[in-house]
């Protein structure tokens, strides 16, 4: 079987344009999809035996998905489907402290460069999951994903915690940990606590004193009216 009589066509959802095309004894690039330009290479070492392989360089998220290989020679043809799964392990999570929130400290974890969409979570020292204050998995301009997850640590629950971002497709994860010293947590002044108790109590006493004064004044007025009435009689 001569290689010059064969046609090997790699394509995605449509027959044309192609990912890569080989016919008339050479590679043809005029029908190639622009996004694959300069990135494909067909191995022809075993072409006469009906075996070929396609190499795609500089893999991108958009390369993920199904491919069809169509092999034609004369009146005969064979077709095969291939599923390409693209996976990217992102960078180690970066943890930052972003101020006070709900009488605690808001801590944010970010990790870019993942594909496909990753999972993110906070864990304690025992590896137990902790509730997050917010979670956002966003797609970046290059098609990769960034994970951002926040937690609010309080003085009562202060402990070393870790941020874990995981790729379900690769079954791998990256992890970073943080521990915040107690002195950084917002403290409630004892005077503020005392005033919070005293001021409402003082307001109640003032109201009661005013009510008692009003009752006493009313009793005096009633008695005076009664005496004047008796004098008149």
pLDDT tens for 35-81 read 999 999 998 887 777 788 899 999 999 999 999 999 988 788 889 99
Residue ranges of the chain whose pLDDT lies below 50: 188-189, 191, 193
Distances (CA, A) of 59 to 3, 64, 197: 28, 9, 65
Distances (CA, A) of 61 to 58, 65, 117, 138: 10, 9, 11, 14
Q: Spell out the residues 6+ positions from residue 119 whose beta carbon is closer than 8 angstroms to its own.
A: 147, 165, 166, 168
* Predicted TM-score (pTM) of this structure: 0.70
For the beta carbon of residue 94, count every other beta carbon within 10 angstroms: 12
């Amino acid at each position: 079987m001569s290689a010059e009589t064969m046609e090997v066509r790699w394509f995605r959802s449509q027959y044309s344009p192609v990912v890569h095309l080989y016919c008339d004894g050479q590679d043809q690039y005029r029908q190639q999809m622009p996004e694959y330009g300069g990135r494909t290479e067909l191995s022809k070492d075993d072409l006469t035996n009906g075996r070929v392989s396609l190499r795609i360089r500089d893999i991108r998220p958009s390369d993920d998905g199904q491919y069809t290989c169509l092999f034609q020679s004369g009146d005969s043809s064979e077709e095969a489907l291939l599923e390409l799964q693209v996976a990217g392990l992102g960078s180690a999570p970066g943890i930052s402290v972003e101020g006070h929130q709900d009488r605690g400290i808001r801590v944010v974890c970010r990790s870019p460069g993942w594909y496909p969409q990753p999972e993110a979570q906070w864990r304690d020292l025992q590896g137990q999951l902790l509730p997050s204050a917010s979670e956002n998995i966003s797609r970046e301009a290059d098609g990769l994903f960034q994970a951002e997850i926040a937690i609010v640590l309080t003085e009562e629950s202060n402990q070393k915690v870790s941020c874990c971002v995981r790729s379900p497709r690769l079954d791998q994860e990256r992890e970073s940990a943080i521990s915040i010293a107690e002195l950084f947590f917002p403290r409630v002044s004892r005077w503020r606590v005392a005033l919070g108790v005293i001021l409402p109590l003082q307001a109640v006493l003032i109201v009661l004193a005013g009510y008692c004064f009003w009752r006493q004044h009313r009793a005096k007025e009633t008695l005076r009216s009664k005496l004047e009435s008796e004098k008149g009689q």
